[in-house]
Amino acid sequence: MYYISGEEITSILSYSKCIELMRKAMETVARGDSVLPLRQAIPLPDSDNKLGVMPGYLGGDDRAFGVKLLSLYPGNPEAGFPSHMGLYTLFDAEHGEPLAIMNANALTAIRTASMTAAATDILARKDAKIMLVVGTGEQAESHIHALCEVRQFEEIRIWGRSLEKARALVAGLQTATSVKLTAVGDLHAATQGADIITAVTASPTPLLDASCLEAGMHVNSVGASHRGVMEIAPDMLANSRFIVDHLPAALDQAGELLAALDQGIISGVDMVPQIGDVFLGKAKGRTADQDVTIYKSLGIAAQDIAAAKYILSESKAKGLGTELSL
């Protein structure tokens, strides 16, 4: 059994490779070769803090199972700590042997952004040149790196509730890319002319609504991950092609979708395809340049398993990781 650190994960798992892994994993899910219980967020007493538990099994070439354990502490950033911290444990599916324990933060950051990039690659216009990123946290940075793997951007606009944080993110990234990065203070104005909008915030209420949409746009909604919160307003779903990562999870936890169903904006769940079915050609994504597409990411255990199996394999091949004796 191995322990693999966050630094080792970052050195092993490139965004380009992880994008490939995520697409393959979601195709396996779409074929029905997975077991994905709904994740749990267990409330801790006298606080908004929670214990997150995310188990699952993935078949196909990645046949394995595992569980992610996370502390979910929304107030942590103010104290200088990450809002999410935890470990991922990977098991062999043949004999049930525990194979590895690894840093969940690095795993999640890379696989989440890579999954968004894989979805964006098939859903956004091929000529997309301008992206607006809504949010300034860790996922904003990882999404910029990942999405630059699938589109040649001319400009990336970054908005956050704190303009100073947006400027700091621009300063931190500018030396790593030739793309023009701009910190913006007016969110609605920043949506104008954007080809792709990627929302990665913890906002409990919508930051974007239908007035932000333009023909041909693609929107990624990544930050709102449980019912009762939403980054995008339900009216954005009215005249768009709305695609989710995993429908059972979305019907339990995607606030935008649940509100749109309640309000009759979407007539039924048969109108909501999964991204794996789009990858396989079993469902439609973008059908014309004028379409508005929206991808809702909640994140599922299959993505963790696929990334973790690759990380473990590469760790062994490169002599990384720490071997443990149970």
**pLDDT of 268 higher than 90:** no
Residues 307 and 269 occupy one common structural domain: no
Amino acid 146: pLDDT: 98
Residues 62 and 178 occupy one common structural domain: no
Amino acid 6: pLDDT: 97
For the stretch 110-149, pLDDT in tens is: 999 999 999 999 999 999 999 999 999 889 999 999 999 9
Instruction: Residue 217: give its domain's CATH number.
Output: 3.40.50.720
Residues 189 and 290 occupy one common structural domain: yes
Instruction: Residue 29: give its domain's CATH number.
Output: 3.30.1780.10
Q: How many CB atoms lie within 10 A of CB 132?
A: 26
Residues 164 and 276 occupy one common structural domain: yes
**Residue ranges making up the domain that contains 73:** 2-108+302-323
Distance of alpha carbon 109 from alpha carbon 70, whole angstroms: 13
String of b and e for 136-175 (b: at least 16 CB within 10 Å)? bbbbbbbbbbbbbbbbebeebbbbbeeeebbbebbeebee
For the stretch 136-194, pLDDT in tens is: 988 999 999 999 999 999 999 999 999 999 999 999 998 888 899 999 999 999 999 99
Residues 261 and 235 occupy one common structural domain: yes
Residues 25 and 140 occupy one common structural domain: no
Enumerate the H helices of the chain as residue ranges: 6-12, 15-30, 104-123, 138-147, 163-174, 187-191, 247-253, 255-262, 275-280, 301-318
Residues 17 and 143 occupy one common structural domain: no
pTM of the model: 0.96
For the stretch 194-236, pLDDT in tens is: 999 999 998 889 999 999 999 999 999 998 777 778 999 999 9
Residues 307 and 296 occupy one common structural domain: no
**pLDDT of 50 higher than 90:** yes
Amino acid 281: pLDDT: 97
Residues 37 and 136 occupy one common structural domain: no
Residues 95 and 190 occupy one common structural domain: no
Domain count, the chain: 2
Residues 187 and 293 occupy one common structural domain: yes
